[in-house]
Copies of this chain bind each other. A is one copy, B any other.
Amino acid sequence: MKKLINEPEGVLNDALVGFAAANPDLVVNLEDRYISRGPTAGKVALVSGGGSGHEPLHGGFVGYGMLDAACPGEVFTSPVPDQMLAATKAVDGGAGVLHVVKNYTGDVLNFQMAAELAGDDGLQVESVLVNDDVAVENSTYTAGRRGTGGTVFVEKIAGAAAERGADLAATAAVAREVNDRSRSFGIALSANVIPATGKPGFELGDTEIELGVGIHGEPGRARGQVSTARELAGVALDAIHSDMPLSGDVLVMVNGLGGTPLIELYVVYAAVSEWLEGHGATITRNLVGNYITSLEMAGCSITVARMTPELTELWDAPVQTPALRWGR
A interface residues with partner B (beta carbon < 8 Å):
2-7, 11-12, 14-19, 21-22, 52-53, 55-56, 60, 75, 189-190, 192, 206-207, 209, 226, 228-230, 232, 258-271, 273, 283, 286, 288, 290, 293, 295-296, 298-300, 325-326
- Provide the residues of chain B in CB contact with A2, threshold 8 Å: 189-190, 206-207, 209, 226, 298
Most buried by B among A6, A75, A286: A6
Contact pick for A229, options B6, B21, B264, CB 8 Å: B6
Tell me what chain A mostly uses at the interface: helix, strand, loop, or mixed: mixed
B residues near A261, Cβ cutoff 8 Å = 53, 55, 192, 258-259, 293, 295-296
Known interface pairs A229-B14, A261-B295, A261-B296; A6-B207 also in contact (CB < 8 Å): no
Residues of B close to A259: CB separation below 8 A: 258-259, 261, 296, 298
Judging by beta carbons under 8 Å apart, are B267 and A11 in contact? yes
Q: What CA separation (Å) do A283 and B300 show in the bound complex?
A: 34
Q: Is the CB of A270 within 8 A of B4?
A: no
Q: Which chain B residues border A16 with CB–CB below 8 Å? A: 266
5 contacts between A and B (CB under 8 A): A11-B267, A75-B263, A261-B296, A262-B293, A296-B298
Cα-based distance from A23 to B17 in the complex (angstroms) = 34
Of chain B, the residue at the smallest CB distance from A75 is B263
Q: Shortest beta-carbon distance, A98 to chain B, in Å?
A: 25
- Give complex CA distance A18, B302 in Å: 14
Q: Point out the residues of chain B lying under 8 angstroms from A262, CB to CB.
A: 55-56, 60, 258, 290, 293
User: In the bound complex, do residue B18 and residue A270 qualify as a contact, i.e. CB atoms below 8 Å apart?
Assistant: yes
Q: Quick one: which of B19, B189, B267, B325 contacts A6, CB cutoff 8 A? A: B267
A133 to chain B minimum Cβ distance, whole angstroms, is 19
- Whether the Cβ atoms of A260 and B207 lie closer than 8 Å is no
Smallest CB gap from A287: residue in B: B22
In the complex, what's the smallest C-beta–C-beta distance from A309 to chain B, in angstroms? 18
- Give Cα distance in the complex from A18 to B258, angstroms: 19
Contact B230 A260 (CB under 8 A): no
A296 to B263, CA, bound (A): 10
CB pair A270 B53 closer than 8 Å: no
**B265/A4 in contact, CB under 8 A:** yes
A267 to B22 Cα, complex, angstroms:
11
A19 to B229, CA, bound (A): 15
A15→B273 CA distance, assembly (Å): 12
B56 lies within 8 A of A295 (CB)? no
